[in-house]
Amino acid sequence: MYSQIILLAVIMIIIIGRLIGTNISFMKQVMASLSSVIVTTSVYWYTFLRYRSNTDSFEADGWLWLLSMVIVSLLFYLLFEMFDPIPLGERGERLTDTKNPVRRLSAWWRRQRRYVQVLMIALKNGVGKNLAIKRSSASDQKVAVSLRRMLEDCGGFFIKFGQVLSTRSDLLPPAVIEELSHLQENVARLTTAQVEEILTKELGRPKDEIFQKFEMEPLAAASIGQVHRATLLEGGKEVVVKLLRPDITSKLQRDLDILVRFAAWASKKSAWARNIGFLDLAKGFSAAMKEETDFRIEARNFAQVKASLANSRTKVKIPHVYPELSNAKILVIEYMEGVSVKSGTAILDERGIDRQEVQRQIFDCMLEQIFIKGIFHADPHPGNVYILNDGTPVLLDFGSVGRLGTLQQDSLKRLLIGFEQRNTYVIMDALLQLVEPQQEIEKEGLEQALSQLLVQTAYGVAGSSDAFIQGLFRMIGEFGFSFYPNVAGAFRSLITLEGTMAQLNPLFSLMDESRRFAREHTAEFLPVSDYSDLRKTATNEFLEQLPVIRRLPRRLDHLGSMLEKGEMSVKVGFFSDKANTSFVTKWISLALLAFVGTAFGGISIGLLSISEHNTQDELNIVAVFGYAGILISAILLIRVAIHAVRNLKQVKE
């Protein structure tokens, strides 16, 4: 009996899998087939077999049982497809690390438990209640305190997220910035055994064959990794060894998933959270953290930035990376003897080095990366900017690096020039190149707002340039714009840099120093600086437009002929977009399949109705066709339902 049920289940797996093209896991296919066999067999026995003395004969009710088994199996497949939590890609592929249902269930349970824990911490600290309050200075202070307490209680990457938020003075009110700046990471250090295990595993040989000396006491410990000082056996060079925490991947995925969920919850609760793009901030932080857990990316960033600054006028140093000793989980870089910029003022004063000159070296190096080179350090906070014992500045930690295209670099340059010239049109033109495109842009309103902002920040009043930046970001939010992620990264880097530069020069002004940099790099900012440049630029522009000018008479003549003959037409290119074409084609095919399935069902019901009038004992051909049609109708309609569910679960990149 049991062997027959298992055999039937195997047959169901083969048949149903071919009929509907399922994407559910093999375990769920087995469960669906077994469930259909058990359910239909139980009903068949309870309805027919228990009343029959001779069970060896296979009559019409037996065929009805097999037909029901197929249909019920299809329904179980649909049920499992509907409640399968795994998202699908554009081609219907499964976007998951594992197909093992036990592991997925275990991971899901851990995420849900952590999510509930974070949500309870947020509610306990009054985050939801304070977010719902109308904006004011008092409410900002309440939000700041409750958010800081919540992030501290959650720990892990939540604290790091709070530290990143504390640099976003472009989006967050001063009260929140001030409160979040007090967040401190308190991370347990790796044990000596853990360090030894990581080194042996990642280096592929004992550390004594590579390092002459390795200090087990770390220089620093963070949520992602731990840093140790060492001396290479070959050449006796001092290096820093950065180790990735062994349990970081699972914790990272769990906490970042919860962080994005929390940001979505906060955005639903508060218009303020929506306006500042709290969810986008969480998603951006999540993407950055995932990159920082692969040290190969950081090694590549070190090399690219260092190569881009090879001929730089500044004297800022970038440490050398040892690629032969580095991989995804270990990074070996040149050791730099010095202190962070916050403590470096003492070194500069002791050696009689002008602080303002060092500040300009660092600032010019960063602006050269952003405006000229196109690849820049995205997180220049005081801990990542060092002053060596001889007073030379150094940039450290290239885990987060931004990249800008030439179009965005030119737009940023024009934005700075527009502010310098107090020209609303130049600023607006540059700004529209830096934000993501929108269908409707209220240019008149934007122009008026920009002109008002220029008036409010005019006449060189102290802090006017900083007020312009704050006002610009506020205006972007009010008009519903959003900067491209890499452009937002550049602004974020500049704002972070502003706080770092204030450590060396309390009177530092971001816009004033930016204007000075533009004046000193006129050739890069203004392609036309004298008459010869003007003539050369005009010649180049004319040569670029010459092919278009030569074709213009023929095009005008052709256009006139079409107008004269009444052949002028306008085409709407909805189907020129492949995504639109694919969407319409997909749903039309499902609609046609559903129509065919419904037609088969209707015809089959009619045939069964006709067969009831035939009372002869011989085989009723009409009834056979009716039941076959019911089966085909069920297969088609359930296939449509399964593919509709699958399409809704697809993740659009």
Mean pLDDT of the chain: 76
Q: What confidence tens digit (pLDDT) does each residue in 6-47 have?
A: 666 677 666 666 565 555 666 777 777 778 778 777 777 766
Q: Which residues pair with 417 in a beta bridge?
A: none
Structure token pair of residue 190: 């790796």
Average of per-residue pLDDT across 344-348? 86
Q: 550-581 pLDDT, tens per residue?
A: 777 877 777 777 777 776 666 555 555 556 66
Flag whether pLDDT at 90 surpasses 50: no
Q: How many other CB atoms are found less than 10 A from the CB of residue 466?
A: 18
| pLDDT at site 214 | 92
Q: d(Cα 88, Cα 523) in Å, to the nearest integer?
A: 50
Asked if 158 and 259 count as a contact pair (C-beta separation under 8 A), the reply is yes
DSSP string, 107-176: HHHHHHHHHHHHHHHHHHTTHHHHHTSPP-HHHHHHHHHHHHHHHHHH-THHHHHHHHHTT-TTTS-HHH
- pLDDT band with cut points at 50, 70 and 90 for residue 105: low
Is residue 91 very low, low, confident or very high in pLDDT (cuts 50, 70, 90)?
A: very low
Is the pLDDT at 652 greater than 50? The verdict is: no
CA distances from 307 to 358, 369, 474 (A): 22, 11, 36
- The mean pLDDT value for 486-495 works out to 83
Contacts of 512 (CB under 8 A, 6+ apart): 465
**What are 402's strand-pairing partners?**
376
Residue 86 has a pLDDT of 47
User: Within 10 Å of residue 637's Cβ, how many Cβ atoms?
Assistant: 19
Confidence at 322, pLDDT banded by 50, 70, 90: very high
Which of the given ranges, 86-100, 115-129, 193-207, has the highest pLDDT on average? 193-207
Q: What are the distances in angstroms from CA 88 to CA 81, 95, 580, 636, 648? A: 11, 5, 19, 22, 9
Q: Which residue has the higher pLDDT, 14 or 239?
A: 239
User: Can you tell me whether residue 204 is helix, strand or coil?
Assistant: coil
CA distances from 265 to 162, 166, 274, 387, 650 (A): 17, 21, 10, 42, 23
H or E, element range at 242:
strand 238-244
Spell out the residues 6+ positions from residue 407 whose beta carbon is closer than 8 angstroms to its own.
433
Distance CA 335, CA 320 (A): 9
User: What tokens appear for 412 in the block?
Assistant: 């940023």
Q: Which residue has the higher pLDDT, 333 or 204?
A: 333
Residue 238, pLDDT above cutoff 90: yes
Residue 94 pLDDT grade (very low, low, confident, very high; cuts 50, 70, 90): very low
301 residue type, one letter: N
For 404, the 3-state DSSP assignment is coil
Three-state SS string over 301-335 comes to HHHHHHHHCCCCCCCCECCCECHHHCCCCEEEEEC
- Residue 88: the pLDDT is 43
Q: Residue 653's pLDDT is what? A: 37
- Report whether pLDDT(273) > 80: no
Mean pLDDT check: name the lowest of 49-58, 164-173, 288-297.
49-58
Average pLDDT rounded to a whole number, residues 618-640 = 72
* Per-residue model confidence as pLDDT tens digits over 286-308: 877 777 788 898 899 999 999 99
Highest-scoring range by mean pLDDT, 269-283, 424-438, 591-605: 424-438
Torsion of CA 160, 165, 167, 169, to 10 degrees: -170
Separation CA 342–CA 448 (nearest Å): 41
Would you state the structure tokens that stand for residue 253, as one six-digit string?
């995925």
pTM: 0.61
More confident residue, 606 or 399: 399
